[in-house]
Structure formats: C-alpha cells, structure tokens
Amino acid sequence: MPTITGPVLLIDDDAAVRQSLKFALELEGLEVRLYEGGAELLADRDLPGAGCLVIDLTMPGMDGIDLMDRLRARHVDLPAILISSPTSSRLRTRALRVGFRQVLEKPLDDGALLDGIHSALSTAA
C-alpha cells in the first residue's frame, strides 16, 4: 500500500462541523488544516504540494464549486472531495466536471469520508 502523505485541508464555514471532522480525522492519524471559507484557503501562501481537499458546497462568499475553479486556475491539483446537503445528479456531474473526485452527502458517513480521503492521499502519494 502506498505511503499516505500530506494533510487534509478542510474548508467549511460551520465551526462545529470543522471541529468534529478534525477530531475524527486526527483520531485516524491524519494531519488536518482548517479553513473557514474559500477566501481563507486562497490567501494561504503555504499550501502543501500533497494532501487532500475536503470542501463544503454551501459557504458564504464563494461556494465549493467556485473555490475548486479558482484552485484549478492556480494549478492547485490536490485531490478533492465535495461535501453537500442535499446532493443531486446535476450537482454530482458539475462537481466531477470541475475536478472533484467524489461528492458526499451530509450528514456524513465517517467511513465513506475516511475511505475517500485515504484513497485520495494514497493516489497522490
């Protein structure tokens, strides 16, 4: 099995979601960086070259799809998972088209999120 490298960059405007996911992911041995929104992530001048993005769809100012468009325009090619409530086939198609690997519906199944993150980190290694 490939070495898992890089942090999980978690972008969600809900502080409770950020903290609970950070806690759960760190229990699994993952490094987690938290961001309140897309602008905060884009302002980070120390983005890692490896890792995984977990991005919420609905955030004030910039939604997850717009954030992904901006990241790809900046040649940030980290694997990404979109989290949303609710999801639809149209949203999934849009998300996959802009570069998300997976779309997960809230409330999140911890197992599905962990599997997606491990797959993304292993592929990126």
Closest CA to 67 of 50, 84, 87: 84
Q: Is residue 82 part of a domain?
A: yes
Q: Is residue 12 part of a domain?
A: yes
- Identify residue 19 by its one-letter amino acid code: Q
Judge whether residue 28 has pLDDT over 60.
Answer: yes
CATH number, domain of 24, equals: 3.40.50.2300
Q: Which domain holds residue 99?
A: 8-124
Judge whether residue 4 has pLDDT over 80.
Answer: no
Helical (H) or strand (E) element with 82: strand 80-84
Q: Is residue 80 part of a domain?
A: yes
**Cβ–Cβ under 8 Å, residues 61 and 41:** no
- Helices of type H across 1-125: 15-27, 38-43, 64-73, 89-98, 110-124
Judge whether residue 56 has pLDDT over 60.
Answer: yes
**Residue 12: Cβ within 10 Å count:** 24
Q: Is residue 24 part of a domain?
A: yes
Mean pLDDT of the region 58-76: 95
| pLDDT tens readout for residues 73-109 | 999 999 999 999 888 999 999 999 999 999 999 888 8
How many domains in the chain?
1
Quote the percentage of the chain above a pLDDT of 90.
Answer: 81
Q: Is residue 3 part of a domain?
A: no
